[in-house]
């Protein structure tokens, strides 16, 4: 005979609580997996003040990585590196390439950071780069259209200083007092690339670099202004210099440097000016999205921003090395870093060798190693070109997306996403609100939306 079973609230409540506890455990495990690739359990950002105070937040949370070194001179001892937090990583896991202008003494700690984190290093010709892994592309820097007498190369400067015809002058009566410096940089001079003696000196130096350093992959030709820059900086004040002839003279100079490099890479510091970049093996742009010498609110206009995005997306640069840097005069803001990096990913050309670098003048400019855990936020490979809708630019990746609002003015723009994503702060989101001059790097969530 079947018995009637009484309804028991206590037993049902116990079961319910057990189920809720199990679901909570599953959720925690899932969130740990979501953040696992980053080694994080919560936020990807912790202030540098906490880092300097020795706090690493909750266990396993990555912290902004920054190492301060000393500027390189002939007599500088090994750089004193502040290694604020030890977070293991491997450059093989980075979704993109990163480069470092290593304009400082390379001690054991600095070399370790470069080997662990970066794919390409630009070092001074007097730097001790031995110890840098063979997998890191090494470029040795040298002069071209401009030369600085403050780089600690006393032997070179003695030769250069004795040849006034190698410089551009404000007067026909050439003397050290009439040499033309770059505005704001009294020790950085415009050189006369039409002078045979200067050309021969530079070309022989690059040839010597290649012969004496067989392990390096190439040379970084510093100070190659675009024709527009050359005309704006020299043409108005010094009409004796024909800016229209500069481009062809510079192109011939680049060809001669390539011949001297004997098959090694020749990368120009020329803001990715297309004719120069195509003639060489690649180029760099120091102020790609935001200049290191500007404050956080001094942004490029939207039109100029778009020109720079298109530069690295240009298929004419397939197979070339494109090195782009951004930075700020002020202390680093996470939103500024994410805006610049998201812009880089927006135009990133997967058919070229694209590398990104952040330099902060507030932390010492090019004598600083900056590292942010955002760099390791793996969103996979780009899926086609970027698109624009309603003033917002978006590009899909195989495991995420990047979205940028480069508008010069207006209200924040909210973008609805096509699923559940993880943002750089570790939040699960289905939409993102972007004020002007901000961006978001998003990773697809494993959690079903």
Per residue in 117-157, pLDDT (tens digit) is 889 988 876 566 777 888 888 888 888 999 988 655 677 88
The C-alpha angle 446, 448, 449, rounded to 5 degrees, equals: 120
Mean pLDDT of 171-183: 90
pLDDT at residue number 207: 82
CA distance linking residue 254 with residue 225, whole number of Å: 13
Contact in structure between 132 and 111 (CB atoms under 8 Å): yes
- Which domains, ranges and CATH numbers included, belong to the chain? 63-384 (3.20.20.70)
Which tens digits make up the pLDDT trace of 98-117? 888 876 667 777 788 888 88
Cα(169)–Cα(26) distance, integer angstroms: 73
Please give the distance of CA 103 from its chain centroid, rounded to a whole number.
15
> Is the distance from CB of 442 to CB of 379 less than 8 angstroms?
yes
Does position 423 have pLDDT exceeding 90, yes or no?
A: yes
For 308-328, b/e burial (b = at least 16 CB within 10 A) is bbebbbbeebeebbbbbbbbb
Of 89-103, 145-159, 361-375, 430-444, where does mean pLDDT reach its minimum? Answer: 89-103
Q: Is the pLDDT of residue 431 over 90?
A: yes
Rounded Cα distance between 137 and 289, Å, is: 24
pTM: 0.79
Query: What is the rounded distance in angstroms from the CA atom of residue 324 to the CA atom of residue 285?
Result: 5
């Amino acid at each position: 005979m079947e018995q009637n079973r009484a309804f028991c609230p206590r037993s049902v409540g116990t079961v319910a609580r057990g189920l809720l506890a199990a679901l909570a455990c599953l959720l925690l495990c899932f969130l740990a997996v979501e953040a696992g690739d980053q080694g994080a359990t919560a936020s990807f950002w912790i202030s540098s003040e906490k880092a300097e105070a020795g706090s690493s937040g909750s266990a396993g949370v990555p912290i902004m990585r920054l190492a301060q070194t000393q500027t390189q001179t002939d007599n500088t001892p090994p750089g004193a590196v502040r290694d604020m937090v030890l977070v293991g990583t491997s450059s093989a896991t980075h979704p993109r390439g990163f480069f470092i202008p290593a304009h400082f003494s390379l001690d054991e700690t600095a070399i370790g950071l470069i080997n662990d984190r970066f794919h390409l290093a630009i070092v001074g010709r007097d730097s001790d780069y031995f110890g840098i892994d063979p997998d890191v592309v090494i470029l040795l820097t040298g002069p071209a259209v401009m030369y600085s007498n403050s780089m600690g190369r006393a032997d070179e400067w003695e030769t250069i200083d004795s040849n006034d015809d190698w410089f551009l002058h404000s007067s026909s009566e050439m003397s050290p007092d009439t040499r033309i410096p770059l505005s704001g940089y009294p020790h950085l001079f415009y050189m006369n690339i039409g002078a045979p003696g200067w050309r021969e000196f530079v070309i022989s130096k690059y040839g010597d670099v290649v012969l004496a350093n067989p392990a390096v992959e190439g040379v970084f030709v510093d100070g190659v202004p675009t024709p527009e820059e050359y005309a704006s900086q020299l043409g108005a004040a010094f009409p004796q210099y024909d800016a229209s002839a500069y481009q062809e003279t510079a192109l011939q100079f680049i060809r001669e440097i390539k011949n001297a490099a004997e098959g090694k890479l020749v990368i120009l510091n020329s803001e990715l000016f297309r004719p120069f970049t195509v003639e060489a093996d690649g180029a760099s742009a120091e102020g790609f999205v935001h200049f290191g010498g500007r404050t956080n609110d001094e942004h490029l206009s939207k039109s100029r921003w778009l020109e720079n995005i298109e530069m690295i997306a240009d298929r004419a640069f397939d197979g070339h090395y494109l090195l782009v840097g951004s930075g700020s005069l002020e202390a680093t803001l996470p939103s500024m870093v994410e805006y610049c990096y998201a812009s880089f990913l927006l135009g990133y050309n997967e058919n070229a060798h694209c590398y990104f670098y952040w330099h902060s003048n507030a932390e010492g400019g090019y004598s600083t190693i900056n590292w942010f855990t955002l760099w390791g936020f793996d969103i996979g490979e780009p899926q086609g070109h970027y698109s624009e809708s309603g003033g917002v630019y978006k590009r899909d990746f195989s495991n995420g997306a990047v979205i940028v609002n480069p508008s010069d003015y207006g209200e924040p723009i909210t973008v609805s996403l096509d699923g559940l994503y993880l943002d750089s702060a570790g939040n699960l989101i289905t939409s993102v609100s972007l004020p002007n001059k901000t961006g978001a790097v998003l990773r697809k969530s494993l959690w079903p939306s």
